[in-house]
Amino acid sequence: MTTVDATALRNPQRPGPRRQEVVAGIKDYILRNRLKPGDLLPTEAELCEAVGASRSSVREAVKILSALDIVEVRHGHGTFVGRMSLNALVESLAFRGLLSGEEDHHVLGQVVDVRQILEQGLAADIISVLDDEHRADLSTLADEMVDLASQGRDFLEVDRAFHLKLMEPLGNDLILQLTEAFWQVQAIVAPTLRTEPEDRLITAQRHRAIVDAATAGDPEALRSAIADHYAPIRTSIARAVQS
Amino acid sequence: MTTVDATALRNPQRPGPRRQEVVAGIKDYILRNRLKPGDLLPTEAELCEAVGASRSSVREAVKILSALDIVEVRHGHGTFVGRMSLNALVESLAFRGLLSGEEDHHVLGQVVDVRQILEQGLAADIISVLDDEHRADLSTLADEMVDLASQGRDFLEVDRAFHLKLMEPLGNDLILQLTEAFWQVQAIVAPTLRTEPEDRLITAQRHRAIVDAATAGDPEALRSAIADHYAPIRTSIARAVQS
DNA sequence: AGGAATTTGTGCGTATGTATC
DNA sequence: AGATACATACGCACAAATTCC
C-alpha cells in the first residue's frame, strides 16, 4: 500500500466548480478519517484519482487549504494536516491595514481598539489567575523593555512576549492566538507610522505600570494601566491622520 | 490598451518558491497602484507576462489570495481586489472546531468564551452609545426570538442580527466583523451538539434580559445578563464532554 | 436573439527541484 | 552516493462563463 487509503474521498456530484469540490472533498477526508494536525494526507496523484480531478484542480484546492493552514505542504515530503493557526487572519487583516494606511490609519486604530478591549475585558480574570511565577516573568519582561527603550533600541519581541504572557495563564488557546494575531497585524501595519523615540520609552514604562496594577490586584487600576499603555500609539495615529 | 498597466509588477530575484513571489508581486501591485476593493486586476495572461511566471503558478497564487479574500475571481469576467473579509478566519476556526468536536468541544467553548469576553468587555461602551433607536431595534429582535422559540422554531438569523446590532453603534468595523465571524463559527460548529428545545427558549429570553439591562444603563447588570445568555450553551458543551 | 471575443476553469504531459532512505 | 518518492513549475489545448456587439 501507499501512504493512506485514499478511496474514502469520493463525493457524489456537487454542482459547484471542480476546485471547490476538491476543497470540500479533502476537508471531508480529514474529518472522516479523524486526522489530527501533522498527519499525512494522500499524495497529489492519489487525491486526483480519489476525487476524479486533474492535478491542476487538486493543486489549486490544496493551495487554498494551505492558505487557511488546514493543510501544510512540505516540498518533496508530502502534504499534512495543518495546525489551523490564525495566519490567514493576520495576512488578510494586515493587508487591509496596509491598503487603508499611508493616509488614514483607521484599520490600525481598530486593531488597537480590539487589543485594548480584549485585555481590559480580561483584566479581572487575569488578576484572579495570576500567580507569583507569572508575575515575576511579566516583571522581568517589563524591565527588559525599559532597558532596551532607554538605550534607544526597539523591543518588539519582548513586547510580544509580554502580551502573550499576560494572557497565558487564562488557559484559552484561542485568546492566546488572537492576541498573537492582532499583535502581528499591528507589528506589520504600525511601521507606516513614524514613532517618536520618547513615545517608545513611555510605552515601555507603561508595561511596568501594568505589572504593578496586576500585582496590586485592582481590576480598575489594571484597566486604566492598559488604556494608558495604548495611549502613545493612539496619539501617533491621530497625528498621522491630521497631517 | 487592455484593462490596466501590468508592467509595474516585476520584482527582482527573490529566493522563495515561484508561487510565493507571484503572491507578493500581486500584493505589491495592488498597493503600488492604490487599488481599492472591487477594482479590476490584470488578466491571468498579463500577470504571467508581468511576473515572468507560468499560468499555473499565477493561478495558484491567485487562489491563495482569493482564499484570504485579498482578491476575488469571477469566472469569465476577471480578477478583482477583494473585500478582505474575515472569511478566512471563519473557515479556519470552524474547521478546527469540527475537527476537535464530536467528542470534546473545547474549541467551541473557547469561541463562546471569546464572544462573551468581547461583549462583556464592551458593556460600558455599549451603554454609553446606545440611543433610543438602537434600543427599540434590539427590543424588537428580542421579542421575535422569544416568539420563534416559543413556537419551537429556530431563530438563527434573528440571533445573528441581535448580536450585530448590539455592536453596531460602537462604530468599529473590525469589532463588527469579528462578532459576525465568531457567530458564524459557532453556528457551524454548534450543530454537532444536540440542544434541548427548553435551552433554546431560555436563550431567547436571555436576550430580552440583555436589552433590559442595557436600557437600565447598569454596566454590571449588562455583564451579568450577557454571561447568563451564554450559560445554556456552556451547559450543553459540558454535558457533551461528559457523555 | 445570437454569436464572437474575452477571461477564467480544467486536464494532461513533461521536466525539474527537493527531501528521505 | 544513488535511488525513490514527492512536490514544483511550465506550456498547451480545450471547456465554461460572461460580456458585448
* pLDDT tens, position by position, B126-177: 999 999 999 999 999 999 999 999 999 999 999 999 999 999 999 999 999 9
Q: What is the pLDDT of residue B197?
A: 84
Whether the CB-CB separation of B131 and B120 falls below 8 Å is answered with: no
Residues listed for chain A: 243
A141 and A228 belong to one structural domain:
yes
Per-residue pLDDT of chain A (243 residues; tens, 9 = 90+): 333 444 445 444 445 688 999 999 999 999 999 999 999 999 999 999 999 999 999 999 999 999 999 999 999 999 999 999 999 999 999 999 999 977 789 999 999 999 999 999 999 999 999 999 999 999 999 999 999 999 999 999 999 999 999 999 999 999 999 999 999 999 999 998 888 888 889 999 999 999 999 999 999 999 999 999 999 999 999 988 776
Average pLDDT over residues B63-81: 96
Per-residue pLDDT band at B125 (split at 50, 70, 90): very high
Indicate the pairing of strand B78-81 with strand B71-74.
Answer: antiparallel
Q: Which residue has the cell 478583482?
A: B80
A216 and A116 belong to one structural domain:
yes
What torsion do the CA atoms of B59, B65, B66, B72 make, to the nearest 10 degrees? -90
Say if the Cβ atoms of B110 and A173 lie within 8 Å.
yes
Whether A137 maps to a domain, the answer reads: yes
Whether A21 maps to a domain, the answer reads: yes
Q: How far apart are CA A48 and CA A25, in angstroms?
A: 11
CATH of the domain at B143: 1.20.120.530
Say if the Cβ atoms of B95 and A84 lie within 8 Å.
yes
Let me know how many helices (H) and strands (E) chain B has, helices first. 11, 2
Say if the Cβ atoms of B64 and A59 lie within 8 Å.
no
Q: Which of A36, A58, A81 is the last residue of a domain?
A: A81
Distance measured from the CA of protein residue A63 to the C1' of nucleotide D2, in angstroms: 32
Which helix (H) or strand (E) segment is B71 a member of?
strand B71-74
Q: Which of B64, B81, B98 is the last residue of a domain?
A: B81
CATH of the domain at B26: 1.10.10.10
Distance measured from the CA of protein residue B239 to the C1' of nucleotide C21, in angstroms: 49
Express each pLDDT in B177-187 by its tens digit: 999 999 999 99
A200 and A182 belong to one structural domain:
yes
Minimal C-alpha gap between A80 and chain B (Å) = 14
- Residue type present at position A42: P
- Mean pLDDT value across chain A: 91
pTM of the model: 0.92
Whether B42 maps to a domain, the answer reads: yes
A124 and A215 belong to one structural domain:
yes
Q: Which three cell numbers stand for residue A54?
A: 486533474
Q: Which of A81, A96, A112 is the last residue of a domain?
A: A81
Express each pLDDT in A7-24 by its tens digit: 445 444 445 688 999 999
Per-residue pLDDT band at B234 (split at 50, 70, 90): very high
Whether A139 maps to a domain, the answer reads: yes
Closest Cα partner for A9 from A46, A66, A51?
A51
Minimal C-alpha gap between B214 and chain A (Å) = 17
Q: What is the pLDDT of residue B195?
A: 85
Whether B1 maps to a domain, the answer reads: no
B45 and B112 belong to one structural domain:
no
A51 and A159 belong to one structural domain:
no
Whether A1 maps to a domain, the answer reads: no
Asked if residue B47 keeps its beta carbon closer than 7 A to nucleic acid strand D, the reply is: no
Domain that holds residue A128: 87-242
B28 and B66 belong to one structural domain:
yes
Q: Which residue has the cell 495570576?
A: A130
Q: What is the pLDDT of residue A3?
A: 39
Per-residue pLDDT band at B241 (split at 50, 70, 90): confident
Predicted confidence (pLDDT) at residue B91 exceeds the cutoff of 60: yes
Share of chain A above pLDDT 90, in %: 84
Minimum-distance CB partner of B67 among A68, A89, A111: A68
B148 and B72 belong to one structural domain:
no
B118 and B235 belong to one structural domain:
yes
Q: What is the pLDDT of residue A154?
A: 92
A213 and A143 belong to one structural domain:
yes
B93 and B51 belong to one structural domain:
no
Best probe of the A interface among B56, B129, B174, by most A CBs < 10 A, is B174
Tell me how many domains chain B contains.
2
What are residue A74's phi and psi, to 5 degrees?
A: -115, 115
Q: How far apart are CA A11 and CA A23, in angstroms?
A: 11
Q: Which three cell numbers stand for residue B183?
A: 457567530
A117 and A134 belong to one structural domain:
yes
